[in-house]
Structure formats: C-alpha cells, structure tokens
Amino acid sequence: SRFETCWPALMKDSHGVIIIFNPELPSHLKEIEMWYSCFVQQQPLLDSQCLLVAHHKPGSAGDTENLSLAYPLNKLKLIHSNLEEDPEDVRMEFIKYFRSIITIINESREKEEMSIIS
C-alpha cells in the first residue's frame, strides 16, 4: 500500500493495535493477516495488545457472527460491532481493552524501574 513508508512512524512506541475489518469481504480476511503480521508480530506486541473488530454494516447479512478465523488470528480477542443494535456492548469491550493496555504499560514501567534500581 502507498502508506507503508509511514508504518514505522505509526508503530513507534505503540502499546496496542486495533484492527477493524468487514467480515463479509474475503479480501479483508486476508488483509488482516498482513496487518497482524506487520503491526503486532514484528513489533513485537503481545496478542493481548491487539483487538480485532468485525464491523457489520447496517442491514448486512449478519450471519458472520460465528466467524472462524485461522491461526494466528484465532488467538486474538474478537468483538463484533453493529452500531445499530448494541453500541453499548462495543463501548464496554473497548473500555476493557483500554484497561488491559494500561495494565500492561504500568507493569512494564514497574519492571523498568526495578531494573534501574537493582
């Protein structure tokens, strides 16, 4: 893609990656493997620092709720967003995700401080 030259700048010091995709597009299912590889595995970030969001457009088939992703994507937290039906669920999932990222940041900061002290 034409933005690949910007990726290192985007990735620098990032603590989390949210990948939003349309589960009805087979091309998206291939692309999220590439995004995961570039933005999570190569950084490297923990899988818990990555959130997948399958976004369902209004009036879409909706049969993709039981979406089964192949390894390694199937290890990631996957949420379905359908803002017509349950925006509150999506909001709660985002809050949980951000809390987990903050916990990871705090733990790594404490480890760094301890290593400086010792």
Give 36-67 pLDDT, tens digit per residue: 999 999 888 999 999 999 998 887 765 556 78
Q: Rounded mean pLDDT of 4-19?
A: 86
Domain, as residue range, for 41 = 12-117
Cβ contacts of 18 within 8 Å, gap of 6 or more: 50, 51, 52, 53, 97
DSSP three-state, residue 9: helix
Asked if residue 8 has pLDDT above 60, the reply is yes
Any domain includes 4: no
Q: Judge contact between 107 and 86, C-beta under 8 A.
A: no
113 within a domain of the structure (yes/no)? yes
- pLDDT band at residue 26 using 50, 70 and 90 as cut-offs: confident
- How big is the chain, counted in residues? 118
Q: Is residue 47 in some structural domain? A: yes
CB 89, CB 57: distance < 8 Å: no
pLDDT at 21 over 60: yes
Spatial distance between the Cα atoms of 36 and 18, rounded to a whole number of angstroms:
10
Please report the pLDDT score of residue 82 as a whole number.
83
Q: Is residue 104 part of a domain?
A: yes
- Is residue 6, in this structure, part of any structural domain at all? no
pLDDT given at position 1? 57
The answer to the question of residue 7 being in a domain is no
Question: Does pTM surpass 0.85?
Answer: no
Query: Which pLDDT belongs to residue 65?
Result: 63
The confidence score (pLDDT) of residue 103 equals: 96
Dihedral pair phi/psi, residue 17, rounded to 5°: -135, 125
Pick from 59, 51, 61, 50: which is nearest to 23 by CA?
Answer: 61
Number of domains into which the chain is organized:
1
Is 58 part of any domain? Answer: yes
- Read off the tokens for 104: 């990871």
Is the pLDDT reported for residue 12 higher than 80?
Answer: yes
Domain for residue 54, yes or no?
A: yes
